[in-house]
Amino acid sequence: MMAWLLPCLLATALATDEVPPAERALVEALEGELARAHAELALPGAPAPYHARLTLTLLAQRSVEATLGGVVRADMSPVARLGVEVRVGSPALDNSGFGGWRTGFRQAALPDQPTPHAVRVRAWRELDRAYKEAVEQQSRKVAQVVLPPDHPGDYTLTGSIQAAPVPPSPALMPDAGLRAATLSAVLAAVPGVLDGRVHLAQEVGVAWVIDTEGTRVRRPVAETTVRAVVTVQAADGAQLVDQRLWTVRSPDDLPSEAALAEALDALARGAVAAAAAPALEAEYVGPVVFLGDAAVDLQRWLLLPQLEGTPPDLPFDTIFGELGGSDDGARVGRRVLPPGWRVVDDARGVPGHPGMAMHDDEGSFTRAVEVVTEGIVRTLLTSRTPHRAVPDGTNGHAWARWDGRAAGRACFTTVEAPRAVPEARLLRLGLRAAAAYGLDHVLVVERLQEPAVRDARGFGDDAPALPPPVVAARWYADGRRVPVRSLRFAAVDRRALRDIVAAGPVARADVLLPRDGRAANLGPVEGHPCRVEAPTVVVAELELVPTPGDPSAVPTLPVATAAPEASEP
Amino acid sequence: MLLLPLLVGLAAAAEGDADALLREELDAALATWTARGEAPHHVALALVEHTVVDLGATAGAVSRDDTRLERTLDVDLRMGTPTLDSTHTLRGLSLLDDDERGLLRVPFASVGGDTALRLAVRRELDARHRNARERLALLEGERAVLVEEEDPAPDFTPGAAVRIDAPAQVGALDRAWLGTLVEASRLLDRAPEVVESAATLRLEHRERVFVDTEGTVVHDGWGDVLLMVRASVVADDGDTLDVTRIVDVARPADLPAPDAVLRLAEEVVDEALALRAAPRAAPYTGPVLLSGRAAAVFLHEVLGHRAEADRNKRDDEGKTFLEQLGRPVLPSWVDVVDDPTLPTAHGVRLRGHYAVDDEGVPAARAVLVEDGVFRGFLMGRSPLSVQAGSNGHGRRSAGNAPAARMGTTILTAEGGLPPEALRSRLLAELRAQGLPHGYVVDEIQGGFTLTGRVVPNAFNVRASRTWRVHADGRPDELVRGIDLVGTPLAAFRALLAAGDTPEVFNGTCGAESGWVPVSAVAPPLLFRRLELQLKEKDVARPPLLAKPEDAGREQGT
């Protein structure tokens, strides 16, 4: 099958002069093995591979975790990893998109200092395994699935895409441990901090995508991420965890040490102040104003899943129950925002951002996509897995883990309102809406819990929901802002965005998003660096309920920083 | 000790002063709790600094060149009294049956003093205190509802203060070893049938500071260097066969010469290829001869675990030997002890050697079997009704509560036979039983045993090299695909003879209190009747395409 491919691959020799010879040799070794596997892998009575892809990731990295001035974890081991994807059958029906495991998508660690032979041996082994898995998975799928007449197919062959030039990598931080420890010491200086941590991670290198269509894409990886996390405890035992994130391409792009220290000090003092606020005593039903990062998070959690257009895995009926088959959260033609609102996703839209990409994880060219106009979804963010409502195929939004099927995901998303009012006016509009509920104040939420730093219970992958507020306040007509804590949203779903009644100034935040869509498993500095811009808003009605503290969790020892009152028995 | 370049500019967090810091925090906490009327009856803190250096190679490439540092803290805090304290096993539907702690990493390097470490210690003391209070309340409710336990022994044995200052002298691992590992990995990779292979070297160095409310202060260390050479092949029937050789020494200076490592790699490949060509054996019962290492693992799994005191205290355990105390369980010519105080045996370093256990009790020789009679248990600080007092076997890995565990378990046999005589005895037994063949197991991968009540109280010793021995004198035949299985009391009663060439097994044992280094020493053991069962087998076809050749090596690069 496809006997033309091997000479074709061999003919398209690497032309990118910037590629170091050692790296070039690795890629050529993988290409040779990929071509051999594509041409020769066969099992009696089984379909041959019609498409295969290898990804090669080579990164130098630094990763440090420090708490209150002390380092608890430091890692500088390189990352060398191979992703393998084998498809059998045809683009109309292959082994992908069906639940379970051993699906033909694999990953494996490569030697820290890979050689062409070592990577070739590993690719040989993994392609062999992936092919056998793909054959089995396709037979399982064929046995169980009756495809509807309008099934759009499982994959789109696109032809070859060639490498893009890679800008020079920033230097690795020689003093990552010292920087993380020094920053975390800032948190130790704030009385009342129970725990303060700084996670600092830097990755520098390249990620290659090569496939049997002749695609050869070399992508840069340059990311430096700092996440500061502070934990405080209220008098009733309730814990409050807040955080700040910086994700940039080069350490030089980080704020100055002084600016970072100032931000961490503000974070810690803000958290301590938030913990000192009274707890919400009774349920709140009424309008809610989302300011700052909370406005971004509102869209991140409720809007983005509605734009991602790769169908979920078809369910595999097993002795464990159905695997796969989660609801498809995206619909073209659905109203997701009020009239006049517009959403664009563009991975090229933020030059210099560490998540910016000219090519996605399938090697396709990224491009701007206007996903929503007039508040209605017009198209979806797609990978090469077809969606019946998006006949054009991929629009360059495929993001994947090393061992999973790439799926269309949002990353650089801009949400635009047709008109915006100043923040003061936004708050007045919120107060006016609250008056209809007999309230003399409106609830303002400024920050939501970040699941990457604290498990937000009840906040799952499948159900669109909002994590609980971390920083919130009651705003009164006389301008008073009275902080309130220990509250969570009740029964929020995606339809809440339709109830936005006013928009204010634009908020912008960097976020680390899961490449596989599963937010629950990400660590503090894991995930795809992305950026979301969205207006601050008033949502007409939401419900929030109290989350009582745990008095038994009140420490008996002075466990917080310089807080003598906590030492009293 | 700070090794990582990432930590330039940082100071070790309270190095040298760690015991003083722990003591200060412990004293302050006790004062607070005493004032509240909530003082625990015993608290111990263990701060362990782990340094791990990993070097490795596969298919001629450096696969690992990595140094990691971490420091862990364990707080063992007991509320209540030594008779009934918060560590007592919860039997009801409390969902808190296990110790709730997890692995706690604390700062090992810092800027500006010891605040971070001090607060981490304090937070953990507070958390364990809260947890202990909760458990004690649950226990009181539980005891009102449930029947009395089978063993009403107290929960704790108080002890005397111990003071030891003996840090380990481990030495550094020369990175020049990478060259040897790369060369060994080339040899492993050379055979087309070898689908995966690796040569690795790991240095582990642990330094521990332990303090408790009895006044014990221990600063000691443990070092280990593990050289591992491994090759995997796939037989035509899908059976994936791993052959691994391990060299375990206390210090890098004791490692074998590079030439010996290369020879080891060649031996591993030869054995893997031989195994690949060997037939799978069938289930069998009859005479079996275990070599010294195989016998040592047998000893560890079948007798050793059942002699651990904690396992004989819980109501859900099988308690194989509890009723055997003072009764014969082995032939009268057999003795078994567990002696962590020995650093070596028969010229081989013992991984299970330590001076003080994880409850601050000096390690001591424990007699388990004397003249075939079961004499006693491996004891931590949790006594049994039939045996009081710790013999220094309370052990754990970081993040777990200590429990009685093995150190170095040693079986000695009076009148052991030379190898030729033992083989003759095997053949004679085959003929006596009218069997055409028996088996010799001379290499193992490890094993496991089940000691509970619901599941069969059985063991499995994972045989990795087994020979079929023909009664008619034909040459021995290498076979694959079988494990040794059985139940303990029946197996021991079938012990027929022993050899006079004891061997040492060094390994890491995983059980309720985590992973701990252990050794077992035994001579070859001949059993009148043991059972072999089929080992699990992969079902995937061998690789469909030929393994890529190392073009670079052929071109001399």
Rounded CA separation B212/B42 (Å):
7
For helices A176-188 and B115-145, the axis angle rounded to 10 degrees is 70
pLDDT at residue number B97? 59
Q: Which helix (H) or strand (E) holds A320?
A: none
Residues B75, B73: Cα–Cα separation, whole Å: 7
Distance to chain B for A566, nearest Cα, Å: 12
What average pLDDT does the structure give for chain A? 92
d(CA A478, CA A430): 13
* Contact assignment for B4 to A76 by CB distance below 8 Å: yes
Q: How far is B552 from chain A, CA to nearest CA, in Å?
A: 7
| Average pLDDT estimate for A30-48 | 97
Using one digit for the tens of pLDDT, what is the confidence trace for A213-243?
Answer: 999 999 999 999 999 999 999 999 999 999 9
Instruction: Say if the Cβ atoms of A176 and B6 lie within 8 Å.
Output: yes
> Residues A428-486: pLDDT tens digits?
999 999 999 999 999 999 999 999 998 765 555 444 489 999 999 999 999 999 999 99
Look at residue A262 and give its three-state secondary structure.
helix
C-alpha span between B13 and B293 (Å, rounded): 42
Q: Do B111 and A178 touch (CB under 8 A)?
A: yes
CB atoms within 10 A of CB A72: 28
Q: Which two tokens stand for residue B47?
A: 């701060």
* Average predicted confidence (pLDDT) for chain B: 93
Chain A interface includes B540 (CB < 8 A):
yes
Residues from chain A contacting residue B35 (CB–CB below 8 Å): 569
Do A161 and A134 form a contact (C-beta atoms < 8 A)?
Answer: no
Of chain B residues 88-127, which have a CB less than 8 A from chain A?
105-113, 115-117, 119-120, 122-123, 125-126
Considering Cα of A14, then A18, then A21, then A27, what sign does the dihedral take?
A: negative
Closest residue of A to B60, CA-based?
A: A118
Cα A464 to chain center, whole Å?
15
Number of domains in chain B: 2
Backbone phi, then psi, for B258, in 5-degree steps? Answer: -55, -40
Cα separation of B335 and B437, whole Å?
Answer: 30
Subunit contact A112:B66, Cβ cutoff 8 A: yes
Cβ contact B59–A117 (<8 Å): yes
pLDDT tens, position by position, B190-202: 999 999 999 999 9
- Looking at the structure, tell me whether residues B353 and B499 fall in a common domain: yes
Residue that is last in its domain, among B101, B132, B158: B158
> For residue A160, which amino acid is it?
S
Do the Cβ atoms of B74 and B102 come closer than 8 Å? no
Distance from C-alpha of A142 to C-alpha of A154, rounded to nearest angstrom: 13
- Nearest-Cα distance to chain B for A555, in Å, is 6
Chain B: closest CA distance from residue A340 (Å): 51
Per DSSP, helices labelled H in A108-155 are: 116-144
Measured between CB atoms, does B553 come within 8 Å of chain A?
Answer: yes
pLDDT tens string A316-358: 988 888 888 777 778 999 999 999 999 999 999 899 999 999 9
For B173-182, write each residue's pLDDT tens digit.
Answer: 999 999 999 9
Residue with tokens 């030697």: A111
Digit-coded pLDDT (tens) for B18-40? 999 999 999 999 999 999 999 99
B131 in a structural domain: yes
Share of chain B above pLDDT 70, in %: 96
* Tens digits of residue pLDDT in B239-264: 999 999 999 999 999 999 999 999 99
Among B69, B111, B133, B138, which would you mutate to test the A interface (most chain A Cβ atoms within 10 Å of its Cβ)? B111
Query: Cβ contacts (< 8 Å) between B122 and chain A: which residues?
Result: 557-559
Task: Say if the Cβ atoms of B544 and A184 lie within 8 Å.
Answer: no
Q: CB-based contact (8 Å) between B455 and chain A?
A: no
CATH of segment(s) A5-227 = 3.30.2290
Please report residues of B whose CB lies closer than 8 A to that of A114: 61
Is 80 exceeded by the pLDDT of residue A149? yes
Q: Are residues B370 and B517 in the same domain?
A: yes
Give the A:B interface size as CB pairs under 8 Å. Answer: 190
Q: Which of A167-171, B149-153, B364-368, B466-470 has the lowest mean pLDDT?
A: A167-171
Which of B73-82, B301-310, B546-555 shows the lowest mean pLDDT across its residues?
A: B546-555
Q: Mean pLDDT check: name the lowest of A117-126, A447-456, A479-488, B45-54.
A: A447-456
**How large is the average pLDDT for residues B265-281?**
97
Average pLDDT over residues B83-93: 88
Among residues A85, A35, A77, A36, the alpha carbon closest in space to that of A56 is found at A85
Instruction: Give which of B25, B64, B110, B122 to mutate to test A binding, by max A Cβ within 10 Å.
Output: B110
Nearest by CB to A111, which of B5, B63, B107? B63
B130-171 tens-digit pLDDT: 999 999 998 888 888 889 888 999 999 999 999 999 999 899
Give the lowest-confidence range in A60-64, A386-390, B18-22, B552-556: B552-556
Reported for B417-422, long-range contacts at CB under 8 A and 24+ positions apart, including other chains, are: B417/B497, B417/B498, B417/B499, B417/B500, B418/B499, B418/B500, B418/B501, B419/B499, B419/B501, B419/B524, B422/B289, B422/B497, B422/B498, B422/B499, B422/B524, B422/B526
Q: What are the tens digits of pLDDT across the range A384-431?
A: 999 999 988 899 999 998 889 999 999 999 999 999 999 999 999 999
pLDDT at A328: 73
Whole-angstrom distance, CA of residue A188 vs CA of residue A563: 11
Determine the structural domain holding residue B91 and report its residue range. 5-45+73-158
In a domain, B433, yes or no: yes
The predicted pLDDT at position B95 comes to 62
**Rounded average pLDDT over A235-259:** 97
Kindly identify which residue of chain A lies nearest to residue B26, measuring between CA atoms: A557
Burial class, A469, CB count within 10 angstroms (exposed 0-12 / middle 13-18 / buried 19+): buried
Per-residue pLDDT at B14: 62
> Which pLDDT band, with edges at 50, 70 and 90, does A17 fall under?
low
Identify which of A117, A188, A194 has the shortest CB distance to residue B116: A188
Angle at which helix A176-188 crosses helix A257-276, to 10 degrees, equals: 30
Q: Answer yes or no: is pLDDT of A568 > 60.
A: no
What pLDDT is attached to residue B341? 98
Torsions phi, psi for B4 (to 5 deg):
-75, 135
Q: Best residue in B62, B106, B119 to probe A by mutation, most A CBs within 10 Å? A: B119
**Helices B115-145 & B18-36, crossing angle to 10 degrees?**
40
- Indicate whether B97 belongs to any domain: yes
Smallest Cβ–Cβ distance between B545 and the set A37, A75, A552 belongs to: A37
Contact B113 A120 (CB under 8 A): no
- Check CB contact under 8 Å for B540 and A129: yes
**pTM for the structure as a whole:** 0.93
Does any domain span residue B246? no
Domain map (residue ranges) of chain A: 5-227, 280-547
Do residue B113 and residue A69 have CB atoms under 8 angstroms apart? yes
Q: Residue A164 above 90 pLDDT? A: no
Confidence class for position A301, pLDDT limits 50, 70, 90: very high
Structure ipTM: 0.92
B190: closest CA of chain A, how far (Å): 11
C-beta atoms surrounding B542 within 10 Å? 17
Q: Identify the residue whose tokens are 């706690």.
A: B104
Name the token pair of B155. Answer: 């929960």
Dihedral-angle region of residue B46 (phi above 0 means left; psi in -120 to 50 means alpha; beta otherwise): beta
Q: How many CB atoms lie within 10 A of CB A132?
A: 21
List of chain B residues whose C-beta atoms are within 8 Å of the C-beta of residue A552: 130, 134
Residue A317: half-sphere exposure toward Cβ, Cα within 13 Å: 4
Question: Considering chain B, what percentage of its residues have pLDDT values greater than 90?
Answer: 82
Least confident of A22-26, B47-51, B113-117: B113-117
The DSSP result for B5-24, as a single string, is GGGTT-EETTTTTHHHHHHH
Using an 8 Å CB-CB cutoff, list chain B residues near A40. Answer: 544-545
* Any domain includes B218: no
Q: How far apart are CA A330 and CA A306, in angstroms?
A: 4
What does the alpha-carbon distance between residue A465 and residue A544 come to, in Å, rounded to a whole number? 12
**3-class DSSP state for residue B26?**
helix
Chain B residue numbers with beta carbons less than 8 Å from the beta carbon of A69 are: 107, 110-113, 115-116
How many angstroms separate the CA atoms of A103 and A400, rounded? Answer: 15
Q: Do B145 and B291 share a structural domain? A: no
Q: What is the pLDDT of residues A507-520, one digit of tens each?
A: 999 999 998 887 77
SS3 content of chain A, % helix, strand, coil (to 5): 25, 35, 40
Please tell me the distance from the alpha carbon of residue A405 to that of residue B26, in angstroms, as a whole number: 52
Instruction: Give the containing element (helix H, strand E) for B62.
Output: strand B61-78
Contact (Cβ atoms closer than 8 angstroms) between residue A512 and residue A201: no
Q: Does the pLDDT value for residue A39 go beyond 90?
A: yes
Q: Is 60 exceeded by the pLDDT of residue B484?
A: yes
A556:B66 CB<8 A: no
Q: Which of A37, A75, A556 sits opposite B126 (nearest CB)?
A: A556
Give chain B positions within 8 Å (CB) of A182. Answer: 111
